[in-house]
Structure 1
Amino acid sequence: MARVLVLTGDAAEELDSMYPVFRLREGGHEAVVAAPTTRPVKLVVHDFEPGWDAYTEKPGHQLPVDLAFGDVRPEDYDALVIPGGRAPEYIRTDADVARIVRHFFDRGLPVGTICHGPQVPAALGLLRGRTTAGFPPLRTDLEQAGATFVDGPDVVDGAMVSCRGWPDLPEWSRAFMQVLEKASVAP
Structure 2
Amino acid sequence: MQDRDFKSKFIINKVVTLNIKTMKKILFLTGDFTEDYETMVPFQMLEMVGYEVHTVCPDKKKGDIVKTAIHDFEGDQTYTEKPGHNFVLNYTFADVNLEDYQGLVIAGGRAPEYLRLNKDVLEIVKYFFTEDKPVAAICHGIQILTAANVVKGRKLTAYPAVGPEVTLAGGEFQSIPADGVFVDGNLVTSPAWPAHPSFIREFLKIMGAKIKI
Provide the TM-score with structure 2 as the length reference: 0.82
Cα separation, 1, equivalents of 2:188 and 2:161: 19
Q: Where does the alignment leave 5 or more consecutive residues of structure 1 unmatched?
A: 183-187
Give the alignment of 1:131-146 within 5 angstroms: 131-146=155-170
Alignment length, in residue pairs?
181
The one-letter amino acid paired with 1:10 is D
> Percent identity between the aligned chains?
40
Give per-residue Cα distances to partners, 1:140-179, cap 9 Å, x unaligned: 1111111111123111111110000001111111111111
Q: Tell whether the 8 Å contact from 2:108 to 2:137 is kept in structure 1 after alignment.
A: yes
> In the TM superposition, what is the alpha-carbon distance from 1:59 to its structure 2 partner?
0.7
> Who is 1:185 aligned against?
none
Of the two, which has the highest radius of gyration?
2
- Are residue 159 (structure 1) and residue 159 (structure 2) matched? no
Amino acid at match of 1:46: H
Give me the whole-angstrom Cα distance separating, in 1, the residues matched to 2:149 and 2:134.
17
**Residue in structure 2 matching 1:71, options 75, 82, 95:** 95
CA contact (8 A) 1:154 1:168 kept: yes
8 A contact 1:3–1:29 mirrored in 2: yes
Residue 12 of structure 1: aligned partner? 34
Point out the more displaced range, 143-152 or 105-114: 143-152
Structure 1 residue 33 corresponds to structure 2 residue 61 = no
The separation in 2 between residues aligned to 1:71 and 1:143, in whole angstroms, is: 34
Which structure carries more helix by proportion?
1
- What SS does structure 2 have at the residue aligned with 1:84? coil
TM-score normalized by structure 1? 0.93
Runs of 5+ unmatched residues, structure 2 = 1-22
Q: Structure 1 stretches (4+) deviating beyond 6 angstroms?
A: none
RMSD: 1.1
Corresponding residue number in structure 2 for 1:44: 69
Cα distance in 1 for residues equivalent to 2:175 and 2:194: 13
For the residues of structure 2 that align with 1:72 and 1:92, how far apart are their CA atoms? 18
Could you give the per-residue CA deviations for residues 59-108 of structure 1, whole angstroms, max 9, x where no partner exists?
A: 11111112343332111111000010010111011121112111101000
